[in-house]
């Protein structure tokens, strides 16, 4: 899941080297913390949060096989 999020984020931003994903695991959930450059923050969030919502939808669909809930947090 972490690799999927990295690939999606790197495709969206202008500075792919600044993309960082931290994975925090618990028993039933995995929190993925996404950090990008400040100038790329708007590209990851999108207008009215539509891009962020779409990324979350892809993660939820892909996490069905893993049996754990994946949550995305976009950090500054």
- pLDDT for 42 equals 94
The CATH number of the structural domain formed by 2-75 is: 3.30.300.20
Q: What angle do CA 63, 49, 46 make, to 5 degrees?
A: 105
Q: Is the pLDDT of residue 66 over 80?
A: no
Q: What whole-number distance in Å separates Cα of residue 50 and Cα of residue 29?
A: 23
Read off the pLDDT of residues 28-48 as tens digits, 9 standing for 90 and up. 899 999 999 999 999 999 999
- The two counts, helices (H) then strands (E), for the chain are 3, 3
- Rounded to whole angstroms, the Cα distance separating 12 from 14 reads 7
H or E segment and range at residue 43: helix 41-45
pLDDT surpassing 80 at residue 65: no
What's the pLDDT at 64? Answer: 82
pTM for the model stands at 0.90
């Amino acid at each position: 899941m972490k690799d999927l999020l990295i690939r999606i984020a790197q495709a969206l931003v202008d500075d792919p080297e600044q993309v960082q994903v931290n994975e925090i695991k618990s028993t039933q959930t995995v929190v993925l913390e996404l950090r990008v450059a400040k100038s790329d923050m708007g590209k990851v969030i999108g207008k009215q949060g539509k891009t962020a919502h779409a990324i979350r939808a892809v993660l939820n669909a892909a996490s069905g096989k893993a049996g754990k809930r994946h949550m995305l947090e976009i950090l500054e």
